[in-house]
Structure 1
Amino acid sequence: MAIQELPLVIQTSYAELLDQLRLATASDFPEGSTFRKRTISGKDYWYVQEPTTPQGRPPERYLGVDTPERRTAIDSAMSAKAHADTRKAIRRSLSGAGLPEPDGLTGAVIEALADAGVFRLRGVIVGTIAFQTYAGLLGVKLPSVAIRTGDLDLAQDYGVSVALNDTLGVSLIDVLKSVDPGFAPVPSLASPNIAATYARPGGYRVDVLTTNRGADRDAPVNLPSLRSDALPLRFLDFLLRDTVEAAMLTRFGALVNVPSPERYAVHKLIVSTMRKDTGESAVKSDKDIIQAGLLIEALVAKRRQDDLAAALHEAAARGSAWQERLRQGTVRLGDEPREIVQALMGTG
């Protein structure tokens, strides 16, 4: 299908909402807070030290990777604040223009996660909820068939969680219960005291995922910074590398982390081959291919084929198993996205 670009005024409004959310995130500090940049393993990261209170001096908190956008927001943090009403008006105009927005429950969960610091701690929204954000990020229209979902997938790189030396103020289940007291842990097969899924009556689920680069394992592992267990998944490290910030169209808008669209597309090609051929698994596999194909076409339409090519070649360089899954997934694409991938990979 031909990819349709969003009107320029809508693309500009989305960029403005993203900037306002970054400003609001960096501005949400007491007067007298100081910001520090630290270099760790060749990358620069920002931290904030809030002023001493009657209860003592708060610990220094991690803010995120150094980017031009974050530096701009930090520079403005103590002199300007984004107004919630302004963000709400922008969000309403974007929604009216057809940009995807989460359902009410998902939006409330995402706002609670953001307020608790999940995305500050490099939590990442993955799955179809993340896919919804690519319409705004890429400035294109996405068909509704590709963005329907009933669950939320939250991921964090295991190494990041261990290395951050910072945690949520309350456990992840407590964050979810603040939205709906009906949320409860779903005990894993490994132990009744371990849970990587939280569900509420009616079947809505929040699944917590993490990276697994060693031997395959079914037992969840603990993510200390998110104060939750998580299910380790192969191939997830590829998806979580070089994430991007996106504006989620919740009530006032929420700044979240999502995979880059090119990595999302390549990852969907791979995981589509891991599902069964029947039932719900087959439906999910078809959806994987639809989403991958749409993003492949959108990236080319927005002249980002170099980004897509880099992601494809990185995946292929990881070995024959990755190459075979890429080949199998590519074969199932529609004619245009399949020809694009084959041309970029030199396999046409």
Structure 2
Amino acid sequence: MADLLQQSADELFDPEFPENGSVLVRPGRAGARSGHVYYQGYRRDGGETDRGQRFARYIGRSDDPGVMAWVVRFQRIKAVRAERTTTVRALIGAGVPQPDRITGRIIEALAKARLFSDGAVLLGTAAYQTYGGVLGVRLSRALSRPAEHDEGRSARIALRAADQIPNLLAALRGIDSSFAPIASAADVVGTTRFRNAGHLQINVHVASELAVLVDESVQSIVLHGPGIPVIVPAPECWVVSTLLEQGWCINSTDDPNQAFARAAEVIEALSMVGREHALARAFDAAWHRALKAKVDLRASVQHLPAPARAILQRHAGIREASSTPASSSALRPIADSA
């Protein structure tokens, strides 16, 4: 996972020349000193399938140093992607979480559009699925499993500014032209929603309440294709935000029981790797946000399983208000996993 993070995103994408194509050098006319370089690729027809229309694009003469430099870079991108894809498949085979296929394609499209390079932050379940790599533990397969029903599929992203939304929508429609804006629920302040014909929903946040998730963020990898470099909230900030959201019902598509279970798992992971101090700082900073949002953060904490509540009691000064059944943790260090 560390190797995937260290490699530059610039070695993965060329928006003008998708990596599903190839380079063709055709000889010139008889007696010509150079040939002609073409790119052959496939345009997607839209929707969630891989069908596409083949096309060719003229690049230039083979004796042009600039053209041959482009050929070298394109071949390097294909080679790097192939090597990384092998690594990603091995991690997935070992049980490391991945998004469902269409969500992974969309996250890759957003990365190709350089939204993450421009400060966008991946949120929600897709962010949670990456925290095993961030923290060096293995998250439970059950909690990381993508939504089974089309109506429940969603992804969330935070942008620094609203003027990034047109770029995001263009990236979505490059994957599936059926993506269109839909009306936002009254309790989702500052959110723009898009949905495609397959009922996949993208929630785009630009609200100031999410500023801490953008400012306190870390690099991570989504296990799709060659491993997509993304930005996600720091794990401790994600925990606090999840608890606030459950109190405020900002994301009604989430199953509350699953949301609390995921938050508990990340709390236990942070404790396992010795980052309780980060949890304490995140909760210290959260109380003002909770008051502003009219959320009883302490009440949300009480919905966590007992082991996670005990960690917060010891390190974040949150006292028990009730007792709930304990749960057995599925966490273990990645190095100890089969």
Task: Identify the TM-score tier after normalising by the shorter chain.
Answer: 0.5 to 0.7
1:13-92 pair list within 5 angstroms = 14-22=1-9, 24=11, 83-92=80-89
Distance apart, 1:174 and its partner CA: 2.2
Match of 2:157 among 138, 154, 158: 154
Match of 2:119 among 112, 119, 122: 122
Distance apart, 1:184 and its partner CA: 2.2
Over 3 Å counting, the alpha-carbon distance change for 1:322 and 1:301 in structure 2 is: farther
Over 3 Å counting, the alpha-carbon distance change for 1:252 and 1:132 in structure 2 is: same
TM-score by length of 2: 0.66
Distance apart, 1:247 and its partner CA: 0.8
Distance apart, 1:130 and its partner CA: 0.7
1:194-213 pair list within 5 angstroms = 196-212=192-208
Over 3 Å counting, the alpha-carbon distance change for 1:282 and 1:109 in structure 2 is: closer
TM-score by length of 1: 0.64
Over 3 Å counting, the alpha-carbon distance change for 1:23 and 1:323 in structure 2 is: same
1 CA distance for matches of 2:290 and 2:183?
35
**AA matched with 1:18:** L
Please name the residue that 2:104 is paired with.
Answer: 107
2 CA distance for matches of 1:319 and 1:155?
19
2 CA distance for matches of 1:256 and 1:282?
23
Q: What is the aligned-residue RMSD (CA, Å)?
A: 3.2
Asked whether the equivalents of residues 273 and 285 of structure 1 are also in contact (C-alpha less than 8 Å), the reply is no
Please name the residue that 2:222 is paired with.
Answer: 248
Please name the residue that 2:263 is paired with.
Answer: 292
After the TM superposition, which parts of structure 1 deviate over 3 Å for at least 4 consecutive aligned residues?
25-28, 187-190, 280-283, 317-324
Please list every run of 5 or more consecutive structure 2 residues that lacks an aligned counterpart in the other structure.
Answer: 16-72, 148-152, 320-338
Structure 2 residue matching 1:185: 3-state secondary structure: strand
Over 3 Å counting, the alpha-carbon distance change for 1:172 and 1:319 in structure 2 is: closer
CA offsets, 1:267-304, max 9 Å, x none?
A: 1122111239xxx9496322221111111000000111
Please name the residue that 1:171 is paired with.
Answer: 167
CA offsets, 1:163-190, max 9 Å, x none?
A: xxxx69x733221121122222225699
Over 3 Å counting, the alpha-carbon distance change for 1:323 and 1:202 in structure 2 is: closer
CA offsets, 1:132-165, max 9 Å, x none?
A: 000111121222332333211111134xx67xxx
Please list every run of 5 or more consecutive structure 1 residues that lacks an aligned counterpart in the other structure.
Answer: 1-13, 29-76, 213-234
Match of 1:266 among 221, 240, 245: 240
Asked whether the equivalents of residues 121 and 233 of structure 2 are also in contact (C-alpha less than 8 Å), the reply is yes
2 CA distance for matches of 1:307 and 1:286?
24
Please name the residue that 1:139 is paired with.
Answer: 136
Match of 1:237 among 203, 208, 211: 211
Q: How many residue pairs are counted as aligned between the two chains?
A: 251
Please name the residue that 1:306 is paired with.
Answer: 277
1:216-231 pair list within 5 angstroms = none
> For structure 1, which segment, 321-330 or 148-157, has the greater mean C-alpha deviation from structure 2 after superposition?
321-330
Distance apart, 1:26 and its partner CA: 10
Over 3 Å counting, the alpha-carbon distance change for 1:338 and 1:179 in structure 2 is: same
CA offsets, 1:13-68, max 9 Å, x none?
A: x000111245636999xxxxxxxxxxxxxxxxxxxxxxxxxxxxxxxxxxxxxxxx
Greater Rg by CA: 2
Distance apart, 1:318 and its partner CA: 4.8
Distance apart, 1:319 and its partner CA: 6.7
**AA matched with 1:24:** E
Asked whether the equivalents of residues 235 and 266 of structure 2 are also in contact (C-alpha less than 8 Å), the reply is yes
CA offsets, 1:219-241, max 9 Å, x none?
A: xxxxxxxxxxxxxxxx3223222
Asked whether the equivalents of residues 119 and 214 of structure 2 are also in contact (C-alpha less than 8 Å), the reply is no
Over 3 Å counting, the alpha-carbon distance change for 1:127 and 1:324 in structure 2 is: closer
Asked whether the equivalents of residues 316 and 322 of structure 1 are also in contact (C-alpha less than 8 Å), the reply is no
